[in-house]
Amino acid sequence: MTIKRISLCLTFIFILGNAHAVSSWEVFDRIIAVVNDTPIIKSELEQKFDRLTSIKNIRKSRYNVEKSRVLDKFIQEAIVRQEAERQAILVSEEKVMIHIKKLMRSNNINSLDQFKKIVEQREKMPFPEYKDEIRQQLTTEQVISIAIGVSPPSHEEAREWFKNNRRKLGYQVHLKHILIRPKDRSFSEEKRVSQEVKNLRTRIIRGESFEKIAAEYSQDPGSARNGGDLGWVSLAELDPYMANKVHRMRKPGQLSGVIKSGYGYHIVKYLGRRAMPYEAVENRILNMLYQRNMQVQFEKWVAQMRRESDIKIYMENYVKS
């Protein structure tokens, strides 16, 4: 429970003891729901809803419905936290940072500061709030594992899914790239790096080895030591700006123009494409099937817990799902 919530609970202790508790809470209009003994605060819901409307186009006629779903999410999170307390589940700061570092590695991001900037730009939330959401996600996973229990899918199930859905999985591309990162986001630094990458591209066009230049200049340590080779990757694994450019490349050996992405400035050398092999997506399919089954079981568990919990909703125009 946050400090804000604790202080609010103390403020309203005297209310709980009298017969007019509900009406008193409604007058203050600061608590819009209570899950057992956990209050949900109006300002937190409004903040979350404002963020939602900033990234999703919602018709005003749908506001009550969408805001009700945001409240449902708060209720779900409260139920999970309460179950975590019963099961003595605690997600430490260290576990949160381990998860974040895994995300950084999977996206080829070496700097925590850079990761923070990307998160705040894409998710439109302060990084501490993003960490809180990661903590809630990890807590939910542990609650599901301990309180619900979901069996992992078999490799036979994964192969069967691949057989029936392989056309939906797209293809892989073989790429090499050179990445130069700006030191900051100033206009002068962006211009300097863009010009540096243009100069490197000109040297390659004039006959210098792409691989040697990548090894010497690229600031992606994972691929630079291999002449910029990224190996076989799917478009989904690439930054969206890069994926958009690579999607249009067809000729082996083709050199891209300068590509600006969330990581910096790139030159890409396209080497070919192939159908997605099972081995490249096996783990993704197993995880997808597990997550799908887990979500079904989790939703059933939440519905049951809502029926068994003492939940009071004071939000005006709440729409049941």
Highest-scoring range by mean pLDDT, 21-30, 109-118, 277-286: 277-286
Cα gap 276→170, rounded to integer Å: 6
- Is 218 within 8 Å of 228 (Cβ atoms)? yes
User: CATH number of the domain that 269 lies in?
Assistant: 3.10.50.40
What DSSP designation does 253 have? T
Domain-located, residue 235? yes
116 in any annotated domain: no
Residues 106-153: tens digit of each pLDDT: 877 888 998 898 888 887 788 998 999 999 999 998 898 888 877 889
Q: What percent of the chain has pLDDT over 90?
A: 64
Q: How many residues does the chain have?
A: 321
Q: Say what the pLDDT of residue 62 is.
A: 93
Closest CA to 137 of 114, 145, 56: 145
- How many distinct structural domains can be found in the chain? 1
Decide if 196 is inside a domain. Answer: yes
Domain range spanning residue 190?
171-275
Residue 159 falls inside a structural domain:
no
The C-alpha atoms of residue 108 and residue 137 are separated, in whole angstroms, by: 22
Q: In the prediction, which pLDDT does 274 show?
A: 95
Of residues 240 and 107, the one with the higher pLDDT is: 240
Q: Which H or E run contains 251?
A: none
Q: Is residue 49 part of a domain?
A: no
From CA 231, how far away is CA 47, in angstroms rounded? Answer: 42
Distance CA 272, CA 244 (A): 16
